[in-house]
């Protein structure tokens, strides 16, 4: 009998809570459109099970699937504000990020 090892990722509570809130908002968006999960599945090509997982806030769903639903509900551009507060050093487009930094070490003459 083969042994199956299931790896589970532990995500922070804040992330889990955010996914659950996003799932609730996806349910409300679907209901505002008067669609069933099967209607959304037909329109997006996602399985009904995947849509259920997304609406339940399960963390194992691929980000691309969330983008498909957000685009369907007209909310994909709402992600434009995500991670916008990036320091100049972390922003690959900034001048400071392109500068090469050299560490200078002082020589120890004390023999």
Distances (CA, A) of 32 to 3, 53, 57, 75, 101: 46, 19, 19, 13, 53
Q: Class of 13-97 per CATH?
A: mainly alpha
Q: For position 81, what pLDDT does the model report?
A: 79
Q: Are 48 and 38 in contact (CB under 8 A)?
A: yes
Q: For position 32, what pLDDT does the model report?
A: 96
Per-residue pLDDT of the chain (111 residues; tens, 9 = 90+): 566 555 567 888 899 999 999 999 999 999 999 999 999 999 999 999 999 999 999 999 999 999 999 999 999 988 887 877 765 556 666 665 566 666 666 766 766
CA separation for the pair 87, 29 (Å, rounded): 34
CA separation for the pair 97, 91 (Å, rounded): 6
Handedness of CA 29, 33, 39, 44 (dihedral sign): negative
CA angle 12, 13, 18 (to 5 degrees): 100
Query: What residue spans define the domains of the chain?
Result: 13-97
Q: For position 51, what pLDDT does the model report?
A: 98
Q: For position 92, what pLDDT does the model report?
A: 61
């Amino acid at each position: 009998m083969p042994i199956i090892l299931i790896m589970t990722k532990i995500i922070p509570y804040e992330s889990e809570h955010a996914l659950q809130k996003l799932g609730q908002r996806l349910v409300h968006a679907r209901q505002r459109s008067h669609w069933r999960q099967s209607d959304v599945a037909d329109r997006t090509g996602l399985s009904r099970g995947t849509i259920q997982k997304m609406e339940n806030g399960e963390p194992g769903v691929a980000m691309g699937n969330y983008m498909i639903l957000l685009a369907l509900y007209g909310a994909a551009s709402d992600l434009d504000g995500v991670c916008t507060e990036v320091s100049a050093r972390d922003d690959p487009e900034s001048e400071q990020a392109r500068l090469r930094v050299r560490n200078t070490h002082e020589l120890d003459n004390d023999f």
